[in-house]
A and B are shown apart, each in its own frame.
Chain A
Amino acid sequence: MSEDAEPVGEPTARPPLPAGVAAVAGAVVATAAVATASIVAFGAAGLGAWVVIVGLVLGRARLVTAGTAVVFSGVLLAGILGAPPLPLLVGAIGTAVVYDAGHYALRLGTQLGRTGSTELVTLVHVGATVAVATGAGFAGYLVFELGAGNQPSSALIALLVAALLFVAALHSS
């Protein structure tokens, strides 16, 4: 005694596959990169990856954010325990992809459901994030390496804080 038409524009909890796969791939990359440096950090990042997967399956944005935070804490932990620059860089980029693709997947899920085709748009969106993150990371890596010997870190700190302030200024204007 009711309409049996397929719900149109009805939100579904489960996100579309391409973006979900990208998020999980980011989590795996971050976890693997961190694993080369420290077993404790690997544990933290791995736990975060599982939380992200559960969040995606259940369609809960908060779980995805929490999982991303745990993955990020794994990366920070690896850094604190003295991980070399390159694994940290890869870990940071992986974390960025987890956050970006994870939330993007959930939004596409609520807006389009699982059935629409989303490969291209996911590729463009996540691709842009990876490009930006890699570009910024390797620019930092260059400063880090070229600053050889004499206090490279203070130069980089100054640069980063300046950049952050600049970005904040952009926002307020």
Chain B
Amino acid sequence: MSVASEEPPAEGPDEAGEAEGESEADEETEPAPLNVLERHETGHWEIAGFAALLAIGAGVLFSQPALLLVAAVAVGLAAHRQAATQPSPALSMDRSFEPEEFDPGDVIEVETTIRNVGAETLADCRFVDLVPDELSVVEGSPRRATTLRPGQRCTITYAIRVRRGRHTFDGVYAILSNLAGTTEDEYHVGTATELDCVPTARPLQATVLRQLTTPYAGRLTTDKPGEGLEFHATREYRPGDALRRIDWNQYAATGELATLQFRTERSASVVLIADVRRASYVRSNPEDPHAADRVVEAVGRLFVTLLDNDHRAGIATFGPDYWLSPNDGSEHRNRGLEALGAEPALSPAVPEGQYPVRLRVRRLLRRLPEMTQVIICTPLIDEAPETAVQMLESAGHEVTLVSPDPTAMGTPGEIVTALERRRRIRAIHEFGVPVVDWPVGERLDVVIARTVAGWSG
């Protein structure tokens, strides 16, 4: 990936740059919105007048006329300072991303083009492309200083590593100065560009559902006897039982009528809760994703898995409010995936403010339909999810926890946090609530399969 900002300033005062500037003069000539932020004097060259007087004084005092030449230079520069006029700019701005299709973690190239659409030459412009805080620049620089004549443009090119969610590039910060550098005007140029990075949620092989189901037929095998596919038990024949459910083998052997019973298959209604409070933005290693990122990944994957298995799935959060009530269908699926990519509440930016879990759960309980299971995805590094589990379970909603493990065993502090988290997992197990502990570097599929195997074994 080539980065133009490492080359000598393109579109400089050479023939090619000028020709390019003129040939495309008809496009993007609309001035972008321009807000003056601040004007300040730099005090540059203020010292020149003093230097001139000093040189004249020394020249006269020591009878050295040659020193007057030094004074002449200083007077010239003092005049240069006075003659400098501050430009009133008109700039247009355009931003593009390459490639346009990407997944979280990909490196994409950002190209921000700024064109001087005014009539004045801008002798000294310094631009800073306003990259969102949560994204990291991996190649090149979003900053650039250049000279722009009327019609000329400059391109700031750099590469960023995108993360999931909606990222807002908020225009360009510009500092314009005159040729002598005596005054600097700060501007905010252009409008925000949004970059949505929707994660492609891959379905999981297994889900982590409990027994609470809706009355509707579905694919979750329950312990209740009735119609279904998997054999459950036999019972004595009662008048009215369907003929095809009579156990003819037993009748042949013993002469008694018995009825086969199967495990009923029902569909479940599940609300996935993403714990994206400030506390979840932790990781033990700067290279790892935040626990909150893994929480959102888990929610996305569980969401599509549940829908693929004909269950009804919804999304809620601990943290900034978001609510998608449980439903099914492809429209619902798209809405959920879009929310995971672009919803501000689920964005990778660390949320400001406190979100008391107790209040959030009370509101959730008003919204939750009856017979709905809850899967909470949380790193479990504070007491709040435990409270939530108690409140939800006592309201009759079966709860499962999927917990990305952000802890490490390096420093004593880390060890304490890790042990506290383990104690918390044990305490939650004692409520009869299953916890899927998901360590860094392991696949969620594998961890879930292992946990489910552990339950049945």
Interface residue ranges, A against B (CB under 8 Å): 1-6, 8-9, 65, 72, 75-76, 79-80, 82-85, 88-89, 91-93, 96, 99-100, 103-104, 107-108, 111-113, 115-122, 124-125, 128-129, 132-133, 135-137, 139-141, 144, 152-153, 156-157, 160-161, 163-164, 167-168, 170-171
Q: A76-B54, A76-B55, A89-B69 are in contact. Are A120 and B80 (CB under 8 A)?
A: no
What separation, in Å, do the CA atoms of A79 and B51 have in the docked complex? 14
Inter-chain CA distance A3–B51, complex, in Å, is 48
What's the Cα separation between A12 and B53 when bound, in Å? 35
A167 touches B49 (CB 8 A): yes
**Smallest Cβ-Cβ distance to A72: which chain B residue:** B51
Q: Any chain A CB within 8 A of the CB of B76?
A: yes
Tell me if B9 is interfacial: C-beta within 8 Å of chain A.
yes
Known contacts A2-B286, A139-B76, A144-B66; 18 further A-B pairs (Cβ under 8 A) = A8-B128, A8-B130, A72-B51, A79-B55, A79-B70, A84-B66, A88-B69, A89-B70, A111-B175, A117-B141, A120-B9, A121-B146, A129-B77, A133-B73, A139-B72, A144-B65, A156-B65, A157-B60
Contact yes or no, B135 A141, CB < 8 A = no
A131 to B6, CA, bound (A): 28
Q: Mark B29-62, 1 if CB is under 8 A from A, else 0.
A: 0000000000000101101010111111011101
- Give the distance in Å from the alpha carbon of A146 to the alpha carbon of B145 in the complex: 43
Q: What are some 11 contacts across the A-B interface (CB < 8 A)?
A: A8-B131, A8-B137, A8-B142, A76-B58, A113-B141, A120-B12, A120-B145, A128-B179, A139-B72, A140-B69, A167-B82
Interface majority SS (helix, strand, loop, mixed), chain B = mixed
B12, B55, B77, B133 interface centre (most CB from chain A within 10 Å): B77
A5 touches B49 (CB 8 A): no
Assembled-state Cα–Cα distance A118/B284 (Å): 38
Residues A112 and B282 in contact in the complex (CB < 8 Å), given A96-B77, A136-B76: no
CA distance A75 to B59 in the complex (A): 12
Report A-chain residues with C-beta under 8 Å of the C-beta of B9: 117, 119-121
Shortest CB–CB separation between residue A118 and chain B, in angstroms?
A: 5
Q: Check B382 for interface membership: any CB of A closer than 8 A.
A: no
7 nearest A-B pairs in the assembled complex, by CB-CB distance: A136-B76, A140-B72, A153-B65, A116-B143, A115-B141, A79-B67, A5-B136
- Given A4-B286, A136-B73, do A113 and B65 touch, yes or no (CB 8 Å)? no
Contacting pair B145 A117 (CB below 8 A): yes
B5 proximal to A (CB < 8 A): yes
Q: Is the CB of A112 within 8 A of B128?
A: yes
Contact in complex: A153, B68 (CB < 8 Å): yes
What's the Cα separation between A139 and B73 when bound, in Å?
Answer: 9
* Residues of B within 8 A of A (CB-CB), count: 72
Q: Write out the residue numbers on chain B whose beta carbons fall within 8 Å of the beta carbon of A111.
A: 126, 128, 143, 175
B7, B131, B179 pick with most chain A CB within 10 angstroms: B179
**Residue pair A167, B78 in contact (C-beta under 8 Å):** yes
Residues on A with beta carbons closer than 8 Å to the beta carbon of B130: 8
Closest partner residue, chain A, to B11 (CB atom): A120
Does B208 sit at the interface, judged by CB under 8 A?
no
Chain A: which residue is nearest B79 at the CB level?
A167
Whether B80 pairs with A157 at a CB distance below 8 angstroms is no
Q: Which residue of A lies closest to B58 (CB)?
A: A76
B74 interfacial contact with A, CB 8 Å: yes
Which residue of chain B is the closest to A127 with respect to CB atoms? B179
Given contacts A96-B77, A107-B42, A116-B144, contact A141 B136 (CB under 8 A): no
A76 engages B126 (CB within 8 Å)? no
Residues in B whose Cβ lies below 8 Å from that of A141: 69, 72
Residue of B nearest to A99 (CB): B47
Q: Which residue of A lies closest to B54 (CB)?
A: A76
Contacts of B128 in A (CB 8 A): 8-9, 111-112
User: What residues on A are CB-neighbors of B71 within 8 Å?
Assistant: 140, 160
Q: Contact check, B143 vs A91: say whether CB atoms are below 8 A apart.
A: no
How far is B58's CA from A92's CA once the two chains are assembled, in angstroms? 14
Known contacts A82-B64, A117-B6: A76-B70 contact under CB 8 Å? yes
Which of B44, B79, B181, B284 touches A163 (beta carbons < 8 Å)? Answer: B79
B68→A92 contact, CB < 8 A: no
User: Are B146 and A160 within 8 A (Cβ)?
Assistant: no
The CA-CA distance from A99 to B70 in the complex, in Å, is 15
Chain A min CB distance to B435 (Å): 23
Chain B residues within 8 Å of A112, by CB: 126, 128, 141, 143-145
Query: Judging by beta carbons under 8 Å apart, are B70 and A75 in contact?
Result: yes
Q: Is B8 an interface residue (CB 8 A)?
A: yes
Asked if B424 lies at the interface with its beta carbon under 8 angstroms from chain A, I say no
Min CB distance B153 to A, Å, is 14
Query: In the bound complex, what is the Cα–Cα distance between A132 and B180 (angstroms)?
Result: 10
| Chain B positions 166-204 with a Cβ under 8 Å from a chain A Cβ | 173, 175, 179-181
Q: How far is the CB of A138 from chain B (nearest CB, A)?
A: 9
